């Protein structure tokens, strides 16, 4: 078989182009720090790298959820501690008012002070974080607690005296996915979340403020009214009101304890997600990052091969008449 100059030239150009492509590839590895730029360069590693990236994306979403929940929980816990302090202040002032040395005028002064504290209590339970109401359950856009002209208290539009355990508003909840694998108690109803597989991030204010006549706000209102009975103030009845108020205030402390437990759970979850994130970043580095020393060595070796191919081309490609035409 006769090998023509055109065949030699064609094969040489093909080989030279291949060497140049490898040289560019190793150069890009040094510049970008990546093993490959396209899936075609390393399909197996590329597929695994895509899987790692998808996992990282999910971890980032779970992390954002956990941190957002922790921030909201911290704000809620701070507000509940303020309510607890306010309740303690109310108890002290009412005990002071029950002192037999105080007359109607002194009790009126204390009643006015308690009235201000009642207004502050209403403001606290309607507290917001990041422009979202914290204690309205799934209602985060409007104040959950409102009053009418008669002094009745309403929670999300329902009189608190009508609320009770099992009422839909008392079970109002929304869940957040923290990477535990959300399951549903009813496959046909996506709202029925298994509480053991997700984090409940809603807080129902009526649960800690109380329902029925023993609601903390309403009992405080009764205490204010009792102090304004003038000489008809009954210390024994006042003691009963104080006991009811303290019993209702204890629910706030229970809620604070629950939030503290939730905070520990979220801290643990964030630590777990950060550990998974670090492991995935390490795996991503193994799959995608080029070893700088190896990349430089490969580049230098390929540069030598490319230059040798150029020198060889001068010997293989014979000059023609056109080479001497200016």
Is residue 82 assigned to a domain? Answer: yes
Is residue 322 assigned to a domain? Answer: no
Give the model's pLDDT for residue 197. Answer: 80
Give the model's pLDDT for residue 224. Answer: 95
Give the model's pLDDT for residue 47. Answer: 86
Using DSSP's 3-state secondary structure scheme, residue 187 falls into: coil
As averages over each run of 10 residues, the pLDDT of the chain (326 residues) reads: 64 67 64 66 81 91 93 96 97 90 89 96 96 94 94 95 92 87 72 78 94 95 92 87 95 95 94 93 78 65 67 61 49
Is residue 260 assigned to a domain? Answer: yes
Give the model's pLDDT for residue 305. Answer: 67
Give the model's pLDDT for residue 268. Answer: 94
The number of folded domains in the chain is 1
CATH number at residue 78: 1.20.1330.10
Question: Range of 206's domain?
Answer: 49-284
Give the model's pLDDT for residue 91. Answer: 96
How many Å apart are CA 133 and CA 171, to the nearest integer? 17
pTM for this prediction: 0.77
CA 13 to chain centre: 58
Is residue 17 assigned to a domain? Answer: no
Give the model's pLDDT for residue 284. Answer: 81
* CA distances to 75, 123, 129, 176, 258 from 68, in Å: 11, 23, 11, 10, 18
Give the model's pLDDT for residue 258. Answer: 95
Is residue 326 assigned to a domain? Answer: no
């Amino acid at each position: 078989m006769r090998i023509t100059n055109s065949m030699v030239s064609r094969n040489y150009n093909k080989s030279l182009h291949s060497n140049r492509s490898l040289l560019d590839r190793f150069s890009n590895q040094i510049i970008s720090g990546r093993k490959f730029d396209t899936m075609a360069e390393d399909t197996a590693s590329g597929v695994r790298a895509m899987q790692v990236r998808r996992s990282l994306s999910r971890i980032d979403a779970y992390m954002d959820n956990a941190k957002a929940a922790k921030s909201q929980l911290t704000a809620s816990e701070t507000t509940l501690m303020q309510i607890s302090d306010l309740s303690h202040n109310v108890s002290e002032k009412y005990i002071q008012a029950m002192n037999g040395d105080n007359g109607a005028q002194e009790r009126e002064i204390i009643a006015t002070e308690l009235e201000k504290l009642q207004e502050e209590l209403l403001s606290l339970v309607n507290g917001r974080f990041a422009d979202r109401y914290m204690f309205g359950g799934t209602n985060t856009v409007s104040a959950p607690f409102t009053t009418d002209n008669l002094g009745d208290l309403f929670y999300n539009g329902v009189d608190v005296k009508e609320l009770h355990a099992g009422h839909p508003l008392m079970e109002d909840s929304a869940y957040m996915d923290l990477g535990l694998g959300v399951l549903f108690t009813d496959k046909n109803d996506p709202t029925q979340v298994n509480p053991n597989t997700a984090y409940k991030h809603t807080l129902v204010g009526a649960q800690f403020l109380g329902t029925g006549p023993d609601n903390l706000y309403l009992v405080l209102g009764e205490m204010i009214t009792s102090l304004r009975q003038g000489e008809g103030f009954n210390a024994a009845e006042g003691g009963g009101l104080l006991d009811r108020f303290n019993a209702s205030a204890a629910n706030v402390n229970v809620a604070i304890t629950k939030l503290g437990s939730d905070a520990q759970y979220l801290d643990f979850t964030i630590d777990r997600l950060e550990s998974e994130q670090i492991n995935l970043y390490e795996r991503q580095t193994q799959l995608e990052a080029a070893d700088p020393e190896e990349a430089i060595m490969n580049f230098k070796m390929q540069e030598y091969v490319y230059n040798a191919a150029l020198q060889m081309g001068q010997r293989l490609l014979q000059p023609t008449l056109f080479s001497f035409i200016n």
